[in-house]
Amino acid sequence: MRSQIDREIEELRERIRHHNYIYHVLDRPEISDAEYDSLFRQLQRLESLHPQLVTTDSPTQRVGASPAEGFRTIVHAIPMLSLDNAFTVGEINAFDKRVCKLLDVDRVSYIAEPKLDGVSVELVYENGSLARGSTRGDGTNGEDVTANLRTIRSIPLRLRRSHVAIPSVLEVRGEVYVERDDLLQLNEKRDAAGLPIFSNTRNLAAGSLRQLDPRTTSTRPLRMFCYDIGRVEGISISSQEQLLEVLSQLGLRVNPLYRLCSGIEEGISFYNDFQVRRKSLSYEADGVVIKVNEFALRKILGSVSHSPRWAIAGKFQAEQAITKIREIIVQVGRTGILTPVAILEPVRLYGVEISRATLHNEDEVERKDVRAGDMVIIQRAGDVIPRVVKSLTEYRSGDELPFRMPSVCPSCGSMIIRQQGTVARRCVNISCPARIKQSIVHFAGKAGFDIAGLGIKVVNQLVEKGLTKRPSQLFCLDRETLISLERMGPQSADNLLAAIRDSRSITLERLLFAIGIPEIGQQTARILAGRFGTLSRLESASKEELLAIPEIGPSITTAITDYFANQENRVVIEELLACGVEIKGEEAQLGHLVEKRFVFTGTLPSMTRDEAVERVRNLGGKVSASVSSQTDYVVMGVNPGSKGARARSLGVKILSEEEFSALIDQ
């Protein structure tokens, strides 16, 4: 007989699973983060009181395993095949002709799906619980990355109950991937912390799945879409269309952008449309996959070596170009990290002229054997910065120069250290001119003081001529000095002076980002500004106060307290304030909106949603996606959704746009 407590625990788990599902799979949250956290904590508390009742598929057990020494091999019961590629409409038509001929029919129905650019994996569910998960590997042998896959919120630890029977065995396959914005956000944090950045979403997904410590994986923004099966027992599925439906019924995440095509023409039109549409998606897709819909027909078609005859990947041309490397230089970043960069003969890549491409680090240059003077293929796919794909060694004349990482900093001649646990090398000198230049560029960048016209070329001259050693000195520059710079006419000098002058009034959030505190990206700066309201409160904040903020962990806390404990940093800030920098509405920032929770619905006529959200956050308030009993205000714009009704039923205060404006301007 199940005890009362047992039932209570299971009921809580079901509720949490339900919210996980609607949030991470359907992307339609119903409760606030705080409500979710409270359910989660209740479960954690009950489980800690009754450890014998903890099950491996409990939502609390995502990050449980301790670090592994390596990955075991898992043999896929049914090999995971790869796909043949088609690069043109003609090749897709040829695929269809082959299919029709082999089946002896005139037309075949297909399912066309986006082809995601991530890492393909297989999950094995036994009696509804996630038992194992592995990478594709060579198709037959994959790596056991179960502990890492369990940390991905869109992967259910247990299949969802619905009208579809839970299969006794379900091997489901799909792609683990990262969204573009998540890559940028993570890179921003890593850059601020002095860690090397990930060059594209696929590398981030692959690197995160291969972490030995699942706690690291759990901090990475991984998601999964499911699109295929291996072995299945207990249910029968006869087409791709049905498969996608069954998988979503079982709580697995399926990409909704697929299309059932009655013939290849519709598949081709999906391919053509998608080539444009993919640019506005939140994730990278490098093509479409066109698959015969009926499984019975797939069986007849069979496979050749490593790919099935019943599917084709319609790929989009990678954005590549061929050019010559003039030289390989080493760039020193704001945090001192050294990056080899290829200086190229300029070449156009999809409308943009490219003259440099990153080589990431020394190991990569060596592995790819890239030399100065080489002809190379460069590419911009999901990449943040164009990169060198490979050298075309057949063009070598023998005059090419292999790359050697300098033994001292190319900018200041100081010692270089290899950062522990990474391939990155770093200059140890905090006064290194290259580091100073990059920190000034960061300071004046869009997310910081946003000084138009202060790019790297001007900064180089200012630093090299000894005119600016610290960002604060930008505010002391005069017209005469600026005109003396190369390629700076009187008009540009005046514009720059005006831009510098106007930038002096800045929000606390931007200031915190601009001064370059390690680990503080835009997001963290916003949270800190909303919480503390004034710079002096943040400066004197204790570790305990910082740690009490849910989004702030121990390493950010240490970065902040170390930063303000350093006398030199305090001088930098004092100088900025002495030079006339003024923090906009500092006192007002912490005030009437602290801890107030807002939900927006509909369009606001006089400001964008982003602006409204920023205003609320700057005033210490919070914005959530859905209305709950914890919501303080629902701001109703034009064409509101169902949130208004929900607010009314919960008795939450509804504000018109005018009332909202009056509230934030108080």
- Annotation says 115 is catalytic: yes
* Binding segment (CB under 6 A) for ligand IVH, from list 87-95, 109-117, 199-207, 261-269: 109-117
Check residue 171 for interaction with ligand IVH (CB under 6 A). no
SS3 readout for 225-277: EEEEEEEEECCCCCEHHHHHHHHHHCCCCCCCCCEEECCHHHHHHHHHHHHHH
- The CA angle 550-552-556, to the nearest 5 degrees, is 170
Give the nearer residue to ligand IVH in terms of CB position, either 85 or 168: 85
- Candidates 96, 113, 191, 586: give the one binding ligand IVH (CB under 6 A): 113
What is the pattern of x (binds ligand IVH, CB under 6 A) and - over residues 131-170?
-----x----------------------------------
Q: How far apart are CA 79 and CA 500, in angstroms?
A: 61
Minimum Å gap between C-beta 224 and ligand IVH is 11
- Candidates 20, 32, 60, 120: give the one binding ligand IVH (CB under 6 A): 120
- Candidates 116, 183, 237, 332: give the one binding ligand IVH (CB under 6 A): 116
Give the nearer residue to ligand IVH in terms of CB position, either 75 or 638: 75
Q: How far apart are CA 387 and CA 207, in angstroms?
A: 18
Q: How far apart are CA 6 and CA 78, in angstroms?
A: 38
Give the nearer residue to ligand IVH in terms of CB position, either 253 or 617: 253
Which letter, b or e, does each residue of 74-86 get, where b requires 16 or more Cβ atoms within 10 Å of its Cβ?
A: bebeeebbebeeb
Position closest to ligand IVH via CB:
120
Give the nearer residue to ligand IVH in terms of CB position, either 113 or 374: 113
- Candidates 222, 313, 538, 560: give the one binding ligand IVH (CB under 6 A): 313
- Residue pair 380/374 in contact by the 8 Å Cβ criterion: no
Which letter, b or e, does each residue of 395-432 get, where b requires 16 or more Cβ atoms within 10 Å of its Cβ?
A: eeeeebeebebeeebbbbebebeeeeeeebbbbebeeb
- Candidates 47, 144, 182, 228: give the one binding ligand IVH (CB under 6 A): 228
- Residue pair 324/306 in contact by the 8 Å Cβ criterion: no
Q: How far apart are CA 151 and CA 215, in angstroms?
A: 8
- Residue pair 229/141 in contact by the 8 Å Cβ criterion: no
Q: How far apart are CA 632 and CA 415, in angstroms?
A: 55
HSE-CB for 510 with a 13 A CA cutoff: 21
Check residue 387 for interaction with ligand IVH (CB under 6 A). no
What is the pattern of x (binds ligand IVH, CB under 6 A) and - over residues 289-308?
x------------------x
* Binding segment (CB under 6 A) for ligand IVH, from list 112-120, 147-155, 181-189, 343-351: 112-120
Phi, psi of 589 (to 5 degrees): -60, -40
State the catalytic residue, choosing from 101, 115, 465, 596: 115
* Binding segment (CB under 6 A) for ligand IVH, from list 32-40, 75-83, 552-560, 570-578: 75-83
Minimum Å gap between C-beta 311 and ligand IVH is 5
Check residue 191 for interaction with ligand IVH (CB under 6 A). no
DSSP-based helix, strand, coil % in the chain, nearest 5: 40, 25, 35
Phi, psi of 505 (to 5 degrees): -95, 115
Nearest to 458 by CA among 442, 443, 446, 441: 441
- The identity of residue 658, as a single letter, is E
- Candidates 123, 311, 556, 604: give the one binding ligand IVH (CB under 6 A): 311
* Binding segment (CB under 6 A) for ligand IVH, from list 49-57, 76-84, 336-344, 499-507: 76-84
Minimum Å gap between C-beta 386 and ligand IVH is 24
Give the nearer residue to ligand IVH in terms of CB position, either 79 or 433: 79
Q: Which two tokens stand for residue 475?
A: 């505010």
Beta bridge partners of 426: 337, 417
Question: With the C-alpha atoms ordered 239, 242, 248, 250, is the resulting torsion angle positive or negative?
Answer: negative
Positions 231 through 290 that interact with ligand IVH (CB under 6 A): 289
Strands 633-636 and 597-601: parallel
Check residue 230 for interaction with ligand IVH (CB under 6 A). no
What is the pattern of x (binds ligand IVH, CB under 6 A) and - over residues 391-430?
----------------------------------------
Total interface residues for ligand IVH by CB under 6 A = 15
Q: What are the residue numbers of the active site?
A: 115
Binding-site ranges for ligand IVH (CB under 6 A): 81-83, 113, 115-116, 120, 136, 175, 227-228, 289, 308, 311, 313
